[in-house]
Amino acid sequence: MAADAAGLNRALAQLSADMGDEHGASDADIARFCFGPAPVMHALLAETADRAIVGVAAYSPFVSTVYGSVGVYISDLWVADEARGNRLGLALLAAVRAAGLEVWNASFLRLNVYHDNPRALAFYERLGFVPTTETQYMTLVGTAYDALGAQP
């Protein structure tokens, strides 16, 4: 629901803070990403009985011609400190899998993990995620991104 955008953004901002990242998204950005005319992000929220957000998974579909199927890219997974150790991260990942399977017939999940986050790496490896060594994500942003738009 669009009314959840501000709470979702607060949770994502906490994830950014936990990771030492800047958080550039506004509540309006999150509302547009998830609930605008062409949504590009989906999210699942885990809440307590009093509606406090204690977990979030943000995800999007993508197509892999290598696998010949749709995958689900999990851009953000966050569990509040007070909710850790209760298998909430596992429950969120399972719910993303179920949503991806239902909506897009997705057959795999993909995510990125910071190299300096051994706790997260160990968590994902315990679940069966494996590092992909044959590719490397590369990012085009800022002036280089703008310059590409100026190409004929």
Question: Which secondary-structure segment (H or E) carries 74?
Answer: strand 69-79
For position 61, what pLDDT does the model report? Answer: 97
Structural domain count of the chain: 1
Report field, pTM of the whole predicted structure over 0.75: yes
**How high is the mean pLDDT of the chain?**
92
Q: What is the CATH number of the domain that holds 129?
A: 3.40.630.30
Cα–Cα distance for residue pair 132/141, rounded to 1 Å: 23
φ, ψ dihedrals at 97, nearest 5°:
-55, -45
At residue 136, does pLDDT exceed 90?
no
- Give pLDDT tens digits for 50-89: 989 999 999 999 999 999 999 999 999 999 989 998 999 9
Structural domain span for residue 12:
2-149
